[in-house]
A and B are shown apart, each in its own frame.
Chain A
Amino acid sequence: MALNLAEELSSIATNVAASDWRQAVRHAGDGLVAGGVTTEDYTDQMIAAVEEHGPYIVIAPGVALAHARPSESVKKGGLSWVSLASPVEFGHKSNDPVSLVIGLAALDHTAHIEVLRAVAGILSNPDTRSGLDAAASAEEVRSLLARAASPK
């Protein structure tokens, strides 16, 4: 029984213009703020995390999972989805450039395991992945995610 990611995402944005990685992460942060998941501080924290630790958030080719520590800036758990119009360099040795930024906020270290599991499952499937990269609208992303969740 797969979780339908489309329902977990507080915001989906496609074809977003970002001139550099900070802008790309900021867009993911904006999506979380728009969804009432976090405050603007969280966006700054996500950017600071990369400045401090390097682009470790680019966890797979083309995909960055932006996030920061649980804190008062997180109102509830949530995810935002930002598909970039053109890929952006994060400085990662093997997984650059990034075309999809997922913003993640969680209230504690164990929350959202099921959601992450769903994200991992969907992004590990090359067909779903290329469909998602090509999606031109939020509706398209939602239906692709819903289809990926339904049993075959």
Chain B
Amino acid sequence: MKIVAVCGMGIGTSVLLKMNAEKVLQDLGVDADIEAADIGVARGAAQTAEIVLTSQELAPEIGDVPAEVIVIENFFDLDEIHRKLSAAVR
């Protein structure tokens, strides 16, 4: 499964999100590749991804993609990421 974690500039928030999502997926026992991307390349990467993780502000910028777009409010909150990811991967 391919997941893209998106942020505005590619060095901060997407990496954080990728890290925490990897932890959650490990807990869930799900095998997936998570790519951290900035909004510029995310649209392209999202074409072949199952899930896109991003923040509320950036979700509309991703546009129409086949992937499921999941909005995360608090990038530090593993419970939130756990809840939303487990609903999506089941």
Among A61, A68, A112, the residue within 8 A (CB) of B9 is A68
Question: Which label, helix, strand, loop or mixed, suits the secondary structure of the B interface?
Answer: loop
Residues of A within 8 A of B11 (CB): 67, 69-70, 104, 106, 108-109, 111-112
Residue B78 lies at the interface, judged by CB distance under 8 Å to chain A: yes
With A and B bound together, what is the CA distance between A52 and B8 in angstroms?
9
Of A4-12, A13-21, A115-123, the one contacting chain B is A115-123
Q: In the complex, A95→B61 CA distance in Å?
A: 20
Total A residues in contact with B, Cβ cutoff 8 Å: 34
A60 to chain B, nearest CB (A): 4
- Give the distance in Å from the alpha carbon of A116 to the alpha carbon of B36 in the complex: 13
Contact B74 A59 (CB under 8 A): yes
Compute how far the CA of A12 lies from the CA of B21 in the bound complex, rounded to whole angstroms: 29
Number of interface residues of B (CB under 8 A): 25
Q: B15 within 8 Å of A by Cβ?
A: yes
> Does A86 lie at the interface of the complex (its beta carbon under 8 Å from any beta carbon of B)?
no
Q: Are B16 and A53 in contact (CB under 8 A)?
A: no
Q: Are A116 and B15 in contact (CB under 8 A)?
A: yes
Which residues of B in the span 1-29 have a Cβ within 8 Å of any Cβ on A?
7-13, 15-16, 19-20
| A57 at interface by CB-CB < 8 Å | yes
In the complex, the chain B residue whose C-beta lies closest to that of A117 is B19
A129 nearest in chain B by CB position: B76
Which residues of the other chain, B, contact A56 by a CB distance below 8 angstroms?
Answer: 7-8, 13, 55-58
A65 located at the interface, meaning its Cβ lies under 8 Å from any Cβ of chain B in the complex: yes
Question: Contacts A49-B9, A67-B11 given: A120-B19 contact, CB under 8 Å?
Answer: yes
Q: Which residue of A lies closest to B37 (CB)?
A: A109
Contact of B75 among A59, A70, A109 (CB under 8 A): A59
Answer whether residue A23 sits at the interface, using C-beta atoms and an 8 A cutoff.
Answer: no
Q: Give A12 to B72 CA distance when docked, in angstroms.
A: 28
Q: Which of A52, A60, A67, A94 contacts B12 (CB 8 A)?
A: A67
Instruction: Kindly state whether residue A93 has any CB partner on chain B within 8 Å.
Output: yes
Known contacts A54-B57, A67-B9, A69-B10; is-contact A59 B15 (Cβ 8 Å) = no
B positions within 8 Å CB-CB of A:
7-13, 15-16, 19-20, 36, 38-39, 55-58, 61, 73-78
Subset of 28 A-B contacts with CB under 8 Å = A49-B8, A52-B8, A53-B39, A55-B57, A56-B8, A57-B8, A57-B12, A57-B13, A59-B13, A59-B16, A59-B75, A61-B74, A63-B76, A65-B12, A67-B9, A67-B12, A69-B38, A70-B11, A93-B56, A94-B73, A94-B74, A95-B74, A109-B11, A109-B15, A112-B11, A112-B15, A120-B19, A120-B76
